[in-house]
Amino acid sequence: MRAMLLTLPLLLLAAPLHAQDKLQILTPDQEPRTMLRRFLHGELSKHFEARKKLVASLDSPEKITKRQIELKAKFIAAIGGFPKEKSPLNAKVVGSLKGEGFRVENVIYESRPNHHVTANLYIPDGKGPFPGVLVPCGHSANGKAADAYQRACILLAQNGLAALCYDPIGQGERLQLIDDKLKPGIPGSTNEHTMVGVGALLVGQSTAGYRIWDGIRSIDYLCSRSEIDPKRIGCTGNSGGGTLTAYLMALDERIVCAAPSCYITSLERLFATLGPQDAEQNITGQVAFGMDHADFITMRAPRPTLICIASQDYFDQQGSWTTFREASQIYAKLGHGERVALFEYDDKHGFSKPRREAAMRWMRRWLLNVDDAPKEGGFKSFTDEQLQCTRSGQVLADFKGVSAFGLNLQEAKKWAKTRETFVSLSKQERQAMVRAKLRLPAEIPTAKEVSKKVHYLEDRLSTYKVVYESEKGILLPGLRFKHIQPKGPPVLVLAESGLPADGKLPAWLQEKYEKHHREIWIFDLRGLGEKSRGTGKNAGFFGAEPKEAFLALHLDRPLLGQRTLDALSLVKMINNDAVEIVGIGASGPIALHAAALDERIAVITLENALESWLSVVQTPISRGQLANVVPGVLQAYDLPDLRRSLAPRLINVRED
C-alpha cells in the first residue's frame, strides 16, 4: 500500500465560536496556560519518587533479575508487542562500493511482508567472520547517507568491525508518505514519525514498536551474513539512533555491547527541560510502570554499555550522570561495575568524531578483546547516490509496498469484528471497557465550586462567571446562563476554542435559553480555551498540546480520558435527572464518552465533531488528533459504535 497525501474534511477542527479575543475568567496568577502541564508534572513526580524507592530496594542479584524480566515484559506490551513470527527477509544485494580497507554493499530486505528496509553493510577487508555492529540513524533527512553515520561505519570497518546502517521510516529512501514527485508528504521526519504514531496508538501499536522491529530484523540480517560472527554483535547510534540503540540493547540479548550517543538522560530532567519529543521516544505508560532511561541500561546488565554524551547537548547532562550513577550501582551489585561507563565531550549534539571514536574503541574492547585507542583519520565519505539502494530513491515508489500507515490500517482491520460486537455487550460491560480504555476511576469526583461572580450584560442579569475544580490543580472556567423559570434539561456545553468572547450565546443556544427556558453551562476543559498553550496555525499538525498529550500517555492517563473526567464531574455538579451535553469540535468525542458513562446525559449534540477514529487511521495526515488518541481503542470500539450504544437517547449532529 502506497501512502499518499490525503485529507478528509471531517478531520479538521471546528472554527472558534467567535473570532475575537477569548473571554478570560481565570486570573494571571493562576497561570492558566501552564495549568495542565504543571498538573501533569505533579502527577509524574509521584511516580518518579516511587520508582526511586523501588530502585533503592534492589539489594540482590535476584531482585535485579526479577525486575529486568518484569520491565521487559511491560516494555514490549506497551509498544504493542511484536509479530508472532518472523517473516522471510527476502534480502538482496543491489550494489557494492570499494573503500579504503573495506567494501560497502547496498542491500534491501523486508522487516515485515512487503515492508522494505534499505541499508548499507560495511565489511572490513580480510578474512572474517567479523563482529557486526548495528548503527541506527538519528533524524537525518538522508538517513544512512548522512556524513556522520557514514563516518561512524567507516571508522568501525577500518578497525575490524562490520557495520550495518539502515534507513529509519520517514528518512532516506524510506519516506512513508510521498507526493507524486517523491517528496515528503509531511515536512520533517519527526513529524512523520508522530503522524504514524497517532494511527498506531489507536490500533494498539506504536512508532517505537515499528522501529524496534526494523532494528531486530536488521540484526537478523546482520547475523545471516557469513562474514559476521552472530555471537559478537554491537549497537551504537546517535540522537534518534541513540534512542533506538537504547531500546534495542534493552530488548535484544544478541547485542553484546552497546554505546547510545546523545540520548540517555532521565525522564525527570527531560520533561523539566526539553520536554517529550516525537512519538517513538514516548512509550505509553512508561512513567506509570516505572521505566526510566537508566532501565534501558540495567535491563541488559551486566552486558557492557557506554553512555556517550555532549556537554552542550539539549539532552540534559545532569540526567545523564544521574542515570549513569544508578546504572553503575546496579552493575556493581551484579559484580561487573567495570562494564558500564560514560564518555562526555565538550561539544554540541551530534555523532561527532570524539563520540564516534569512543564508540569504536568500546566495540573493539568487548567484541575484539582489544583495549587500545585508534583514531579516526581523514577519509572521504560517499555520495547519497552511491549509497542508494532503489532506482527511484524511494522504496514505496519502487515496490509499491506497505507503508507504516498501511501497517496501521492492517491492524485496524484485524479488530473490525471485535468492534462490531461492542453494541451487543451489556451496558455494564461496555462501561467497564470504556473506563478501562480511558483509565477512569470507578468513582468520578463531583466538581467543586471555586468562585462565582455575576457577569452583567445589557440584556441579561442572570449570567455568572464560574470556576470549578474537577481534581486538585485542575480549574475549569465557565459561564452559567441561569434562567428565572428553567424548563427541560440543563445544557452543558464543552467549548473547544474558548468561551464566547462577548459572553453571549451563539444563536442556536440562545434559542434554547430564551425560547425553551433552558439553563446553559459553558466550560473550558483542561488544556482548552484560555488554558490552551496556543491555537490556530501555531498549533501545527498535532494540536496546541502535543507535549501535554505525550506526558498524559506516560502517566497512562490519555488526555481524552482526563477531559472526560472533567465533563463527568461537571454533570455530577449540575445534579439534574437529565442533562443535554454539547460537544464542539475536539470536544465531540469527550461528550460521547461522558454520555456512555452517565445515563443522566439524555441528549447529545455534536457540532463539527470527529466522526470516527478509523477515519484517522485511513487518512495519513490528520490535524489536531494527538490529544484525542486513546491507546488501543480500535481494538474495542470506534466512535460510531459508541454512538449506536447510546440508543435510544437522542443524538443531534450540527455543522456550522
Q: Among the listed ranges 187-191, 451-455, 495-499, 562-566, which one has the minimum average pLDDT value?
A: 451-455
- Determine the 3-state secondary structure of 117 from DSSP: strand
Contact 467, 476 (CB under 8 A): yes
Rounded percentage of the chain residues whose pLDDT exceeds 90: 86
Residue-wise pLDDT for 152-181, tens only, equals: 999 999 999 999 999 999 999 999 999 999
pLDDT confidence of residue 521: 94
Q: Distance between CA atoms of 297 and 458, rounded to whole angstroms?
A: 66
Q: Distance between CA atoms of 433 and 643, rounded to whole angstroms?
A: 15
Q: Which among 614, 501, 425, 634 has a CA at the least distance from the CA of 10?
A: 614
Going by DSSP bridges, is the β-strand pair 520-523/474-481 parallel, antiparallel, or unpaired?
Answer: antiparallel
Query: Confidence class of residue 258 from pLDDT cuts 50, 70 and 90?
Result: very high
Query: Confidence class of residue 581 from pLDDT cuts 50, 70 and 90?
Result: very high
Q: Distance between CA atoms of 167 and 145, rounded to whole angstroms?
A: 9
Q: Among the listed ranges 45-54, 274-283, 508-517, 623-632, which one has the minimum average pLDDT value?
A: 508-517
pLDDT confidence of residue 216: 98
Give the cell for residue 204. Answer: 494498539
Q: How buried is 473 (Cβ within 10 angstroms: 0-12 exposed, 13-18 middle, 19+ buried)?
A: middle
pLDDT confidence of residue 319: 98
| Mean pLDDT computed over every residue of the chain | 93
Residue 403, φ and ψ in degrees, nearest 5: -85, 175
Residue-wise pLDDT for 288-324, tens only, equals: 999 999 999 999 999 999 999 999 999 999 999 999 9
- DSSP percent split of the chain into helix, strand, coil, nearest 5: 40, 20, 40
pLDDT confidence of residue 486: 82
Q: How buried is 122 (Cβ within 10 angstroms: 0-12 exposed, 13-18 middle, 19+ buried)?
A: buried
Query: Confidence class of residue 539 from pLDDT cuts 50, 70 and 90?
Result: low
> Residue 454 pLDDT > 90, yes or no?
no
- Determine the 3-state secondary structure of 339 from DSSP: helix
Going by DSSP bridges, is the β-strand pair 228-238/520-523 parallel, antiparallel, or unpaired?
Answer: unpaired
pLDDT confidence of residue 462: 76
Greater confidence (463 vs 113) lies with 113
Mean pLDDT confidence for 626-633: 96
